[in-house]
Structure 1
Amino acid sequence: MKFKIFLAVFILGISQVMAQKSASDEIKTSKGLLKINPVTHASFVLTWDNKIIYVDPTGNREMYKTFAAPDIILITDIHGDHLDLKALEALNTKKAIIVAPQAVAIQLPASSRDKLVILNNGMQTSQLAIMVKAVPMYNLPQTMDSRHAKGRGNGYLLTIGGKSIYISGDTEDIPEMRALEDVDIAFVCMNLPYTMDINQAASAVLEFKPSIVYPYHHRGQDINAFKKLVNNKNRKIDVRVRNWYPLLN
């Protein structure tokens, strides 16, 4: 009897973990649902209108086995938690359009360059009915020897089915982020010493007021405290705390 109870509890626990890993958020757009799937740290997958977008894919192939091959890959920066050449080699990227800044582009293998779109800050492109604009991401104060110098990497603004989606990349609470307007969904980083702390992130979010914000790239930070900082001053902002580190649970 005890073994049967143990087995039932074990199976339930495994089912809950698998459900948590496979769960995605669904957001209505003017053309169907946008599905948001955290993978790990800075990596996530967006699905919309039968199109698959990988953002900063890192890790191993198994982490992406439940997703179709990407149509678009967005890469923000040269650091290994954003640009993972081994992951790109392991994944099926045959049909993928890769969007990246120049600093990333020069590190990609020659086999990727025929499907590469280079965007630097301020540039934009339309791919598969999705508008992609590169926006600044950098550390403060601005110095060329900082971990993230201005102009090297990209944040991204996407327009998908009438929704404006901001991906911060590795940044602090820079003026360009604070000046954003009419953002529907924001992915905002927060981890020291590479980007910013939860206080800086909350202050920036309260200024540009996205409708929904996902704290991500937050290893070591108290994201529930971030949620309180935001919602204590603005309850209209939907702060969505999701599982970006499934392997640690």
Structure 2
Amino acid sequence: MKMILISLLLLALAAAGAAGYFLCQAGAAPDAEQLKQFERLAYFKNGRFTAENDVSVHPEKMTGGSTFSFFSVKKYAPDTPLPQKKLDKNSFPQTPGELAVYWLGHSSFILEIGARCIILDPVLGNAAPLPGLFKRYGQAPITREDFPPADIVLITHNHYDHLERASVRALAKRGAAFVVPLGVGAALKSWGVKAQHIHELGWNDTFTHNGLTITAQRAEHYSSRRGTDKNKTLWNGYTLEAGGRKIYVSGDTGYNERLFKEIGRWHGPFDAALVEIDAWNPGWPGMHLFPAQAVRAVQDVNAKQLIPAHWGLFNLGLHRWDESIRAVQRLADENNVRVSAPVMGERFEPGKTLTRRWWENLN
């Protein structure tokens, strides 16, 4: 009996520890007073932000396996490690370039534009609040200690594959400014980011910094970090402009022709568009871009080239890691859309650097 009680106590302590760790990783959510401030917005209804698309999940239409297939990394992962160029503190110019992109895997990027440095959705660990869930296919090409000095840390939304506590805390210690969707500041503050370093944007809001202009754009998605906070924070795409150069960042989004064409009309043309290409599935048709939609989105926003994002690192769509990039490349070739997909860690300068189709030689 004594051993049973001890075992139950240990289980209870382990459960409490896991719960505490989860809440720490989740961060704080906006409180009632903060949510009340959003009621003036047309896209905030009944206490939650809303998407124009139907972003609901339809389990009966899901392909690729059961819900448990999300944790079957080997089934969808590459057979060999993906190529990458390791980055350290000496990999970056002392003054950021006029336009350069470093893909760190999935949706994490380091961007140089108009001699400014932006770190986008930095996630160097797994895409989950607890260890062992939603594992990476491989290690990141950089460590948090080796991040270059950033003018801005830019966050698209609060899902775990885009917002990571450890990276936020590392960058906050350097005094970085954070540009985030409405409501996301609550989590950042709970992780130690100073309020004066947080700038929350709603759709069409603009933030300017030393010649850099960032405008939040509408996206078709949702937000959540715990079971009770769905859509209590916003999700953004972004347009970035500095020194006469322009980049479009789609963030996670479903397809909306009217929306993309409006972005192109009011903010384009763009030197490059960082557009998500993966995690699509018939079971959730409105919240991510299918390959043909990703190509159309680049045309709609009037971008010179597509730099694929949201791929190559996590099993989030229940399909092979390279299925999306192969489909996107084929469709882009058919529609005269240029695709530039650098390997992880490679410095890519749109209009100057040539990329190769490195995935075609991997199994």
TM-score, normalising length from structure 1? 0.75
Secondary structure class of the residue paired with 1:218:
coil
Contact 2:270 2:303 (C-alpha < 8 Å) held by counterparts: yes
Larger radius of gyration: 2
> Which of 328, 333, 337 in structure 2 is aligned with 1:231?
333
Aligned ranges 1:120-135 → 2 under 5 Å: 120-135=202-217
Amino acid at match of 1:36: V
Structure that is richer in strand per residue: 1
Q: CA RMSD in A?
A: 3.3
Give the aligned partner of residue 249 of structure 2: 167
Map residues 168-183 of structure 1 onto 2, 5 A cutoff: 168-174=250-256, 175-181=258-264, 182-183=269-270
| Partner in structure 1 of residue 294 of structure 2 | 201
Which residue is 2:104 aligned to? Answer: 39
In the alignment, residue 180 of structure 1 is paired with which amino acid? I
- SS in structure 2 at match of 1:86: helix
Q: 2:181 aligns with which of 85, 97, 101?
A: 101
Q: After the TM superposition, which parts of structure 1 deviate over 4 Å for at least 4 consecutive aligned residues?
A: 148-151
Residue 240 of structure 1 aligns with which residue? 340
After superposition, the Cα gap between the structure-2 partners of 1:66 and 1:94, relative to the gap in structure 1 and judged at 3 Å, is closer
Higher relative contact order (CA 8 A, sep 6+): 2
What is the deviation of 1:151?
8.0
**Bigger shift: residues 64-73 or 115-124:** 64-73
Identity %: 26
CA distances 1:171-191 after superposition (whole Å, capped 9, x unpaired): 012231233321221000022
Instruction: State the alpha-carbon separation in 1 of the partners of residues 114 and 332 from structure 2.
Output: 32
Cross-structure match for 1:210 = 303
Partner secondary structure for residue 108 of structure 1: helix
**Alignment TM-score, normalising by the size of structure 2:** 0.53
**Matching residue's letter, 1:203:** R
Q: Which runs of 5+ in 2 are unaligned?
A: 1-82, 88-95, 126-139, 223-229, 282-286, 313-320, 347-361
Mapped contact 1:205–1:230 kept (Cα < 8 A): no
Deviation of residue 51 (structure 1)? 3.1
The answer for the alignment partner of 1:71 in structure 2 is 151
Q: Which runs of 5+ in 1 are unaligned?
A: 1-16, 23-30, 141-147
Equivalent pair of 1:56/1:76 in contact (CA under 8 Å): yes
Q: Which moved more, 1:78-87 or 1:206-215?
A: 206-215
Aligned residue-pair number: 217
- CA distance in 2 between partners of 1:238 and 1:150 (Å): 37
What is the match of residue 121 of structure 2?
A: 56
**Deviation for aligned residue 1:70:** 1.7
